[in-house]
Chain A
Amino acid sequence: MTTTAGAATSVAAPGTREVSGARSRRRRHGDTKVAFVMLAPLVVLLAIFVIWPLLHAVYISFFTWSFYASSEFVGLDNYVNVLTDQAFLASVLRGLGFAAMVVPAQLVIAFAFANLVKSFSGRMAGLLKVTIYVPAVISEVIASIIFTIIYAYRGGILNWALSLVGRDDTAWLGETGTALPAIAVPAIWIGMGIASLIMLAGLLDIPEAYYEVASLDGAGWWAKMVHITLPLMKNIFLYLLVTGFAGSLQFLVVPLVMTNGGPLESTTLPNLFIFRHFTNDLYAGYPIAAALLLFLVLGSVSAVIFRLVRSEKAVDG
């Protein structure tokens, strides 16, 4: 879970910089020895299990690499193959479509939730905050198992509920038209807690005085929403939008467990496409090139947004 983080302080205590400045004038890099000992486990582990694999992946992407044969330099061939592969491009488009279902739903849920919690006091607000986060700690495997029985064609609760309003049974996971929306629901379910709590934190950051002044000026609920809440939460929306898109495009376990990409590839999202090539292909250059291309786009977009949101926070705070 790459979710919970970020302490309340976005700005360093003012004293910190002065002290380290004063010290460095006396004894520049004076702590190097002890610092390197403290950093050693972190740096060594990151080097072996993250940085080296990344560099190696970049290297392999220019070769026809396999576990069993000697590899051959092929230049940009792997990248060209990826970008001209209809199946890969289709999976990316499918991923975008999937994100277009998941992200707006999450934003709406989170925004409604945040405003609702803000309007409640103490105990009820606490109950809501804790409850909405419970799905986020459930594994994607268990979520897949639960939603599989909910979607069951015969005797599933969803078809039963819909039969009450006169709809015929649907094989939710068995039809190309419904399978992707059907796996979007658990994605929303798992992700809504985090999005909601971030949204709530952003909403509570807005100084209450703004609303009070607006009330004195006779602004109603709608005017406050349009002129105070929405503009001040622009960054939060942007942040959730981008991380939501990145997260959706990397969604892997639920389609892997629930549908394994089917029926007829209708739930083969980009990461599942790459994962299947990893486990099935003889040569690794092609899927690695595909993964790196995705990484390049997603990683740089999230890095930019991350910077943007942080810098504005610092200015505000």
Chain B
Amino acid sequence: MTRLLVTIGKVFLAGLFLLSALFPLAWMLIAGFKSKTEVVQTPFQFFPEVWRWENYTQILEDPAFLRSIGVTFVGALLFAALSLVVNSLGAYAFARLDFAFKRTLWVVVITTMFIPGIAIMLTSFIVVTQLHMLDTMAVLVVPGAASGLQVFFLRQYYLGVPVALEEAALIDGAGRWRIFLHIFTPISKGALVVVGVTSFLAFWNAYVWPVLTITDANLFQIQQYLATFRSDRSSELGLLMAGSTLAALPVILLFLAFQKQIIGGIRISGMK
């Protein structure tokens, strides 16, 4: 009897967790099918009177929406690629090579993990202004690509790769670049996926930095688009919800596709 009660309690609790994680998203999805007066109306209505696909087709016909989705997507791919190259090379050097000033450089790289964005927001803005990077794709892609956190994570992973693997290659006369490309890169696919996906997500979801550095509507990022829509066209709530749903979809799908690696990558050792 107590056993049954415990099971019921556990299932109830599990349902509660699932509901609280997913309900807000489901609510956004449902609201995306409502007419503009239905989203928040009295008397309250849970489901729309008629399910309006028009919101979705209408937002997909908005050139500004499509442009910001496209620009953000391309930027996120570039950002993920750059992060992968920069951070994996650095991590490999710290994990396996023996060079001058190694300790000092390592401390510097690690320290950058603890610098909050707000402390360097204005001075980073000064730097990108002086480099004439404002209103370019580069200002979104380049400044955040190097990450102490990602280097730390990849280094931990590389340290776990058996040394025997590369010793054989070294004896055969393989250089460090070949070892990095042909041994370390394929063997650490899982860790690289984590770096690539988290970089993509970070770029896709970024809001504050784009707001500061992008005023050209052609380069508007998707989060900028949504926030601007929210304040400028606040009466068109159904449309906004449809747009938000479509903007959330890529990251949810990306996460689901790589959930095993992402969840496996969460460990206490490298969290910040």
Q: Which residues of A contact B112 (CB under 8 A)?
A: 46, 50-51
Q: Which residues of B contact A134 (CB under 8 A)?
A: 21-22, 25, 252, 255
| A275 to B125 CA separation, bound complex (whole angstroms) | 13
Q: Mark B126-148, 1 if CB is under 8 A from A, else 0.
A: 11000000000000001111101
Q: Mark B142-167, 1 if CB is under 8 A from A, else 0.
A: 11111011111110110111111001
Q: Which residues of B contact A116 (CB under 8 A)?
A: 10, 13-14, 17
Pick from B25, B87, B256: contact of A146, CB below 8 A.
B25
Q: Are B123 and A53 in contact (CB under 8 A)?
A: yes
Q: Mark B89-129, 1 if CB is under 8 A from A, else 0.
A: 11011101111101001001100101111111111101100
Q: Which residues of A contact B93 (CB under 8 A)?
A: 31, 35, 38-39
Q: Mark A130-161, 1 if CB is under 8 A from B, else 0.
A: 11111101111111111111101011110110
Q: Are B156 and A252 in contact (CB under 8 A)?
A: no
Q: List residues of B (18-56) whose CB comes within 8 Å of A's CBs.
A: 18, 20-22, 24-25, 27-28, 31, 39-46
CB of B103 to closest CB in A, whole Å: 12
Q: Are A155 and B44 in contact (CB under 8 A)?
A: yes
User: Considering residues B164, B252, B265, which has the most beta carbons from chain A within 10 angstroms of its beta carbon?
Assistant: B265
Q: Mark A218-253, 1 if CB is under 8 A from B, else 0.
A: 000000000000000001100100010010001011
The answer, yes or no, to whether A211 is at the interface (CB within 8 Å) is no
Nearest residue (CB) in B for A20 is: B98
The answer, yes or no, to whether A76 is at the interface (CB within 8 Å) is no
User: Considering residues B42, B97, B161, B207, which has the most beta carbons from chain A within 10 angstroms of its beta carbon?
Assistant: B97
Q: Are B150 and A5 in contact (CB under 8 A)?
A: yes
Q: In the complex, which range does the number of interface residues on chain A fall in? A: 35 or more
Q: Are B44 and A157 in contact (CB under 8 A)?
A: yes
| A160 to B45 CA separation, bound complex (whole angstroms) | 9
User: Considering residues A29, A142, A243, A287, which has the most beta carbons from chain B within 10 angstroms of its beta carbon?
Assistant: A142
Number of B residues near A (Cβ < 8 Å) is 113
Q: Are B109 and A287 in contact (CB under 8 A)?
A: no
Pick from A7, A274, A292, A306: contact of B272, CB below 8 A.
A306
Q: List residues of B (207-263) whose CB comes within 8 Å of A's CBs.
A: 207-208, 223, 226-227, 230, 237, 240-241, 244, 247-248, 251-252, 254-256, 259, 262-263
User: Considering residues A6, A51, A197, A295, which has the most beta carbons from chain B within 10 angstroms of its beta carbon?
Assistant: A6
Q: Given A131-B18, A236-B268, list of 8 further CB < 8 A pairs?
A: A1-B198, A54-B115, A57-B119, A141-B227, A142-B226, A197-B263, A250-B117, A287-B122
The 3 A-B pairs with the shortest beta carbon distances in the complex, nearest first, are A6-B270, A42-B90, A5-B270
